[in-house]
Amino acid sequence: MINNNHDSFSPPSGNCTLWKYMDFTKLLSLLENRQLFFTRADQFEDPYEGTWSKASVTLLRNPKLNGGLPINAADQIIACMDKMRKKIFISCWYTSEHESAAMWKLYLQSCEGVAIRTDHTTLFETLNKTSIMTRTTLVKYIDYESTLIPFGNLFFPFIYKRMSFSHEKELRVIIWSEEDVNLSQIDSNATYFNINVIPEELIKAVHVSPMAPKWFGKLVEQILQRYGITCPIERSSLYDRPSY
């Protein structure tokens, strides 16, 4: 189930197109297992994932500005976020009406990859069929040196990222493992989590990497047919020579 009625989150105000770039093996895993993969927050490469900005911590440590909090309040909150990072699971999506050259290079280990395309409404409806409590939010990109991340809720550090990542145009699906309904379904030591989905409903189109050979595109088409996926299959023309 999905719950976007939370002040900390910023879901899209309307529908928007979403992309997930992946290697062929991850596409095959999605089709075979019929599950959407979520990574635990502390497993991401970004060391700032789930942390307060420097501006926020500086404020906490200033006795004239922190509202009378004890001297060690900042250290306690930082320690709390280290634990919170092990309770948050995230699925990342690229938000755009158009494919991205940067995303092809960032998320594919080879030229043999694809991007599945869907939209927020479809993803919302898919998540709403599960028993796991999830939330969607657009990521906010800020200068961590000068911009405060609010302290009102422990979700906030997972909704902000540094400006250096703004090219990702990310929408996140977030799971908090200690949500009451999730406690009995997510192992306390899990580093990832899968949610059951119906791929033929979730996937609106599959785009084949612009660098992939023609035989790979044919293979993708055969695999999708085998799993009953009837959506459009498009080879990216990103690097085709212009024709006039």
pLDDT-flagged residues of the chain (< 70): none
d(C-alpha 122, C-alpha 236), whole Å? 23
**CB distance 29 to 37 below 8 Å:** yes
The DSSP line for 109-175 is SSS-EEEEEEEHHHHHHHHTTSSS-BEEEE-EEE-TTT-PPPSS-TTGGGTEEEGGGGGG-EEEEEE
The torsion defined by the Cα of 152, 154, 158 and 161, in degrees rounded to 10, comes to 50
Query: In this predicted structure, what is the pLDDT of residue 108?
Result: 84
Domain boundaries defined on the chain: 17-235
The residues facing 59 across adjacent strands are none
pTM: 0.92
Contacts of 113 (CB under 8 A, 6+ apart): 21, 22, 23, 24, 104, 107, 209, 212
